[in-house]
Amino acid sequence: MTSKYDTVLFDLDGTLTDSAEGIMNCAVYAFEKMGLALHERDWYRVFIGPPLKVTFSQDCGLSEEDTVKAIAYFRERYFTIGKFENSVYSGIEDMLTSLKNAGLRLAVATSKLEITAKEILEHFGLDKYFDYIGGALPDGSRDFKEQVIEYVMDMLNADKHKTVMIGDRIHDAEGARKVGIGCIGALYGYGSRKELEKAGAIFIADTPQDITKLLLN
């Protein structure tokens, strides 16, 4: 089997792993520590995908100072407990194996802190599939998705015309578009078809198996 791509970038949360439980638990923890009014459980799904700085400031309306405090509380729980309240989606390892065996270079481009992404992928035994794992930095200098994508592509010396992003949220598709590559929307994650199509996803995959079929022909 062949592919028109030689490099495939993957988001982590909602694309490789189902991390909702840990992220939402840590968001609730941060709210409690900050003394903020609590929401219904499902509301905290807004934290899945975007950089924490964006969610705490824009969705929660916190000041810059309080955003810094809330992020610190979130990470206080996430680094010790939350990052492993997580599971690998069914079919992911088969997909990664097929793509790797076909000779594609695989990498991760996530808005999660890079060191944490590496720990999670190693914990689940997925790190062996990837040529590079890139993410955000603690100082906030590489927070936005397009920055992470561009960084990972630079590290791999990837050709824009032969690189594609796989992600489940608007930030993945928009980030890919800003960098000049296509994005396949992972509908089994946390985003909707409408969200992904509006953001410019070139294809929509209902399952990891669909991603394999789209990339290998």
Residues 183 and 205 in one domain: yes
Residues 30 and 135 in one domain: no
Around Cβ 140, how many Cβ atoms within 10 Å? 13
Residues 38 and 76 in one domain: yes
- Alpha-carbon gap, residue 55 to 156, rounded angstroms: 30
Residue in 125, 142, 179 with CA at minimum distance from that of residue 9: 179
Residues 105 and 211 in one domain: yes
The pTM for the full model equals 0.90
Q: What is the mean pLDDT of each run of 10 residues along the chain (217 residues)?
A: 88 96 97 97 91 93 97 96 96 98 97 94 97 92 92 98 96 96 97 95 97 93
The reported pLDDT for the residue numbered 2 is 65
The three-point CA angle 203-207-213 to 5° equals 60
Does residue 14 belong to any structural domain of this protein? yes
Residues 100 and 164 in one domain: yes
Say how many domains are in the chain: 2
Side chain identity at residue 144, one-letter code: F
Which tokens go with 8?
Answer: 């495939």
Q: Please provide the DSSP assignment of 24-40 as one string.
A: HHHHHHHHHHHTPPP--
Does residue 1 belong to any structural domain of this protein? no
The reported pLDDT for the residue numbered 25 is 98
Residues 48 and 147 in one domain: no
Residues 79 and 98 in one domain: no
The reported pLDDT for the residue numbered 1 is 59
Catalytic residue list: 11
Residues 100 and 206 in one domain: yes
The answer to whether the beta carbons of residues 108 and 134 sit under 8 Å apart is yes
Residues 101 and 163 in one domain: yes
Residues 138 and 211 in one domain: yes
Residues 92 and 49 in one domain: no
Does residue 141 belong to any structural domain of this protein? yes
> Which range marks the domain in which residue 31 is found?
20-84
